[in-house]
Amino acid sequence: MNGYKNISIAAKGLLEFMEYFSFPRKLAIVYYIRKMLLLIESRNNRVINNDSELLRLIAHRYDENLKKFITLWDKHVHIYLIGLPFLFDKEDSAKQARTAALYWNVPEESLLKEVRYMPILEKLEHDVRRDVSEKLNISHFETGKEIKEHTFSKRIRLFIDSVHMNSTGTEIIAGEILQHLSGGRQ
């Protein structure tokens, strides 16, 4: 653990834990947790719609935090910055939010809000990841092309909520990542 002298105690502990459990240090697939974006929005207590000032703030914070997270790891592992898809597309509407609410047995109010802003946040995240990967000269790949080609009624069966995929969705994404990392060879 001598190689970790110049990082925080928490980061050192995390690295030691991951190393103990045979974390492959030659490869790290990094994506930033989307819930932070939702937290920023809730703290600002404003609806994300076309509020360019709020979206700039979210993009700026996401950019800063993503760079900090990458910097924490970039001396220890090879980083691949990978974006994951959200359930809702810009073409989706209240009808799809209601369908999701019934499918997951959750109140539709939050999903009605999500169907409006999730596509905006997904694009914002993609743009920030692209810019950060260019600035830091790290690999970048956006997944979800196959998933996004499905109709909503098929796409919803790949998610456990509007952000997180189930095992079937995860298998599709894993296949895309493997194909990308192997240069298209499988």
Is residue 112 one of the residues assigned to a domain?
A: yes
Q: What is the CA radius of gyration of the chain?
A: 18
* Per-residue pLDDT at 11 exceeds 90: no
Q: What is the largest CA-CA distance in the chain?
A: 56
Domain containing 174 equals 25-181
Inside any domain, residue 17: no
Is 43 contained in some domain? Answer: yes
The predicted model gives 12-38 an average pLDDT of 42
pLDDT digits (tens, 9 = 90+) for 65-91: 889 888 888 787 888 889 999 999 989
Instruction: Name the DSSP letter for residue 101.
Output: H
Q: What are phi and psi of 142, to 5 degrees?
A: -100, 125
Which is more confident, 25 or 16? 16
Q: What is the pLDDT of residues 127-171, one digit of tens each?
A: 999 999 999 999 899 999 999 999 999 999 999 988 889 999 999
46 compared with 142, residue with greater pLDDT:
142
- Residue 104 inside a domain? The answer is yes
What is the pLDDT averaged over residues 8-30? Answer: 43
Domain contains 11: no
CATH number at residue 89: 3.40.50.1110
Interior CA angle at 157 toward 152 and 159, to 5°? 95
Residues 40, 57: Cα–Cα separation, whole Å:
9
Q: Confirm whether 20 is domain-assigned.
A: no
Number of structural domains in the chain: 1
Whole-number pLDDT of residue 57: 86
Distance of alpha carbon 180 from alpha carbon 186, whole angstroms: 10
Question: Structure tokens of 104?
Answer: 């997951």
> Token pair of 68, please?
């900090």
Q: What 3-state class would DSSP assign to 159?
A: strand
User: Does residue 78 lie within any of the structural domains?
Assistant: yes
Give dist(CA 153, CA 120) in Å, integer: 21
Q: Is the pLDDT of residue 107 over 70?
A: yes
Q: Is 14 a member of any domain?
A: no
